Structure formats: structure tokens, C-alpha cells
Structure 1
Amino acid sequence: MKDTMDLLVQERWRVIDQSVSGLYISALQSFGIDDTLCASVGSGEAPATARAWVHKPTIVLGIQDTKLPFLKDGITYLEENGYEVIVRNSGGLAVVLDEGVLNLTLVFPEKTKGIDINRGYDAMWQLVKDMFADYDKVIEAREIVGSYCPGSYDLSINDQKFAGISQRRIRKGVAVQIYLCVNGSGSERASLIKQFYELSKKGEETRQEYPEVVPEVMASLSELLQADLTVQDVMLRFLQALQSKSGELFAASLSPEEVSLFEGYHERVVDRNRKVMGE
């Protein structure tokens, strides 16, 4: 617990809030920004940084998803339902982004000791528990079988998943990312991914394993807490929880140096996306 708290307690936390402006940019830019922050925070040129982002309806595929035998059929289905489809530059499987899903990224410098991978996950889990400490609910971290993009740090309440955590490391910077399904129907989002896999696989044997999605095991925080939560409600909780662990919490955007760095990282994300999608 102490190691976890040591990560969250920073002398200065810079906050980049794109919970509204993110609706007007592609999610590809978000992955480029997080890579940029990893590099700048890891090098010591920027303080520990927290970023919040929301995007228009987008399905983010993992590299593994691009090996599906009938991928184009699955993508066509998603696009017909109003979703942009992109591939992220890291592992994992398909996830849903939309106006009711808040993404949070915590970027730490690795420094000399290094940050164990579970320590990064535990820090984000602890932060989410702090954010909703006023609700009498136990938030667990364990794999929820039947969810989309299942992992050992799925966050759930009463066996229903509402969030998933991932990590990315670049140049001694560690980005811990989480998507929080704030409102809307968790099972409807899961049904979309279930249909995507059915159309992309068509029952064929595949070398990689893909989840058998069971929509009922996923829900939003609004559904689980029986509260009419908005993204901005959860943003406030996020900032308050972070403030309690910070000597100084301040809002900022990318520095001029980071903007220059971003151009290169964004280009890499876009190029890789083109190659993987066969464009």
C-alpha cells in the first residue's frame, strides 16, 4: 500500500483536461499525446502528469484483433453503427469509447528504482477507490470473464466490470491508462463488441484467443451505483482525489517542446494504424 501511495503522492501534479476538447479530435491523437507525455515526464522535463480524455464513438482495436479472419466484415458493422475504428499502438483487445466513457492517464517518471508493473496498476485502482469512497461499494480488481478486453485489473462491482486498466512505457516514463464507463449501458457496449467478434471470426479456429463476450457482465458506474453520474461529475471526483495527494495541482497543456515531440509520436501512431489496417 505504501508503494502505491508513494506513486500517487507527487510534489506537483500537472493536469491536462481534454474531457470536452477530446470530442473534436481523433483517438489516434490521444495515443500520440500519451506517448509524448511518457517521454517528457520520463526525461524529467515535465512533472508527473494526469490527463483526462473523452472521444466521439470510437472502437479501439488491439493489434491482436487485426488478425481476425473476417476483420473487414466486423469493421463494416461497427462503421454502420456510427463508430470510427482505429488500432492502438499497444496490446490488448477491442474497447468502446464514446461520450459516456471517461479515460484517465497517470504518467509517472520511473526514476532510479523503477516502477513494478503491478505497482502502476495498483495506483490507478487505489485512485478509483478513493474517487468513489463515499459509496458503500467494494471495487474489486480481477479478471471478469465474458467482458471485452479482459485482464487481471478489470475493475468491477458485484462481478460487473465498469473499467479496464492498461500501461505503456517509453523512455523511463510510465503511463497508466484506464477507461471508466461512467453512464449509458455497459451491456449495450458489450453487445456491440460481441457482434463484432462474431462477424470477424464466423466460428473459425484462430491462433489467437478472443473473448466470448457476455454482455450482462458489463455495466456503467451510473448503473452500478444507481446514480445519475456525468463525465464532469467523475472529473470533479478525479481532481479532488488527486488534489488530496498533491503538493500542487495545476492545469496546463502541452509545452512547446512537447508539441514538437508530439508531431513525431502522432505520425508513428498514424503510420502504424495505416499499416495494420491495410490502408
Structure 2
Amino acid sequence: MELQKNQSLLIQPEWRIIDQSSLGPMFDALQSFAMDDTLCTSVGAGNSPSAARSWVHHDTIVLGIQDTKLPELEAGLKVLEDSGYRYIVRNSGGLAVVLDEGVLNLSLVFPDSEKGIDINRGYDAMLQLTKEMFKDFPVHIEAKEIVNSYCPGSYDLSINGKKFAGISQRRIRNGVAVQIYLCVNGSGSDRAQVIRDFYHAGKREESRKFIFPEIHPEVMASLSELLGTELTIQDTMLRFLQSLKGFSGKIFASQLEGEELTLYEGYLDRVHQRNEKVLENQSK
């Protein structure tokens, strides 16, 4: 019964697929947040079926609001710039994460029912989908907090205690977006080292108001490292689409259309302004 309950969010009459996994380095992370807000609004209003979006961003650090409270934020940001990363501040909770060409991000966007989708049900649906995607490997994917990882949370996904993914949620206008980043290939510990360096430069002293993670790079790894197989973004995308089709039976490719394009422009403008305001306020 529990499995069926977890799967029920995945079992939709049809899934609308928006694939943005190969748009390249010019595709900015702020565009992704505007996309998910647009889809939440569209799906929540009943103007779109449930949607699944895939996306990849190059050399980008996504910061949480709490990260901008670092005592020496500018020193931390300089470390990121010197390491070749862009950075943005996201409009949902959590702490800093690394996105690059070896990290596949997936969003599942559902309508929020009258009773409301329980937060854990959204997380469990994404966990179930991830397990389905890699069921041909003899490993146990576990959801629990990996304390010394970056952006630790109770729905960190790990194999043998090493984290390869994190799940978050955003709710807006009767829509729910459940988002995951999957470290598909490359070095998980190298990514963690970047965030560790950022915090070391930005903290200087302990903040009394906020506690930032003490990162141990060795607790993070990519799926390629953990499964002993060199996975590509394309291979992982195929697993994603096949798994989702298994739950639904019907998937179709799509892009934003009609009123969604106007909505998107508005949301994009909003996230740009908000991002600039947050970073501007913290640098004063």
C-alpha cells in the first residue's frame, strides 16, 4: 500500500515533458526558476497536465537566502568567481549547491489537490522515480540526511552513505514543483570542495544567528563513481523518460505556449529583480 501511495503522484493520465538538458552554457539558472514558477501556475490552474522538466546549467552555484547572511559574503563570492563559477540566489529554501554539465536537474510539477499534497508525498514520489531509474543496479538508494554534505536535508539521496542527490520543493499558485539535482558524473568530492572553500572564506568567524554546514567532501560522490559505470546526461535522461512512461503510459514533448510565455516573462523579470536586490542588500 505504501508503495502505491508513493507512486500515486507519478501515475498521471499523461506527462508533459519539457527537456532543457542540452541548451548549453548560455542557459541561466534564473530562467529555470522562472520556468518552474510558470509551470506551477499553469498546472495549478488546470491549463496544463502534470509536467516534468529536465535541465542542466554550466558552472553555476545556486545559493540559498541563508548563504547571503555569511559574515564575509563578498570573500566567499570571490572564491566562487575565482573558481570559474557564476552564482545566483534561489527563491526557495536550502543552502548552496553546485550545478555543472555533469549534474542533471529534474522537476515534477503537480496540481495541488483540494486537500493539499503532503510535503513528504512529493519527496517520496521523486525518491520512487529515482529508484526506478536505476533499478538495474544492485544498490540500495537511501533517503536520509548526510550531515557533512552541502545543502543537507532529510531527503538527501545516498548509496553507502555517500550523497549523490538532493530534493527540494516549491509551491506557488496551486502547483507543486518537486526538484532534484542528480550528480550523474564527474567528482562529487570536487564539487563539495568548492562549497567548502566558499564557506571557509565567507565565515571567518562563526555566525551567531545562522549555522552553516561543515563540509567533508568525501561524503559526496556522483552516480558514475558509486555505480562503477560512466553514466552520461543523455543516458540518465533516457532512464528518466522510460521510467515516467512506465508510470503513466503517455508522455509527450512540449515547450511553453500561449499565455505561459507571458507568465514566464513576468516570473523571469521578478526573479532577476529579486536576485539583484538580495545580493545588493548583502554587499552593503
- TM-score calculated relative to the size of structure 1: 0.98
Identity percentage of aligned residues? 65
Q: How far apart, CA to CA, are the structure 2 residues paired with 1:23 and 1:11? A: 34
The one-letter code matched in structure 1 to 2:187 is S
Is the CA contact 1:22–1:53 (under 8 Å) kept in the aligned structure 2?
A: no
Where 2:25 maps in the other structure, the secondary structure is: helix
Is the CA contact 2:71–2:205 (under 8 Å) kept in the aligned structure 1?
A: no
Q: Who is 2:180 aligned against?
A: 178
Task: Select 2:38's aligned residue among 23, 36, 39.
Answer: 36
How many residues are matched? 279
Superposed, which structure 2 residues align to 1:79-228 within 5 Å? 79-228=81-230
The one-letter code matched in structure 2 to 1:61 is L
Q: How far apart, CA to CA, are the structure 2 residues paired with 1:234 and 1:205? A: 39
Change (3 A) 1:139 1:182: same
In structure 1, runs of 5+ residues without a counterpart are none
Compare 197-206 and 122-131 and name the one that shifted more.
197-206
Is the CA contact 1:110–1:172 (under 8 Å) kept in the aligned structure 2?
A: yes
- TM-score calculated relative to the size of structure 2: 0.97
Q: Who is 1:267 aligned against?
A: 269
Task: Select 1:75's aligned residue among 71, 74, 77.
Answer: 77
The one-letter code matched in structure 2 to 1:209 is I
Is the CA contact 1:51–1:104 (under 8 Å) kept in the aligned structure 2?
A: yes
Is the CA contact 2:127–2:143 (under 8 Å) kept in the aligned structure 1?
A: yes
Is the CA contact 1:162–1:220 (under 8 Å) kept in the aligned structure 2?
A: yes
Cα offsets for 1:96-126 (capped at 9, x unmatched): 0000000000000112232100000000000
Is the CA contact 1:161–1:217 (under 8 Å) kept in the aligned structure 2?
A: yes
Task: Select 2:54's aligned residue among 34, 52, 55.
Answer: 52
Post-superposition offset of 1:22? 5.2
In structure 2, runs of 5+ residues without a counterpart are none
Is the CA contact 2:71–2:207 (under 8 Å) kept in the aligned structure 1?
A: no
Is the CA contact 1:68–1:206 (under 8 Å) kept in the aligned structure 2?
A: no
Where 2:255 maps in the other structure, the secondary structure is: coil
Q: How far apart, CA to CA, are the structure 1 residues paired with 2:215 and 2:40? A: 32
Is the CA contact 1:106–1:176 (under 8 Å) kept in the aligned structure 2?
A: yes
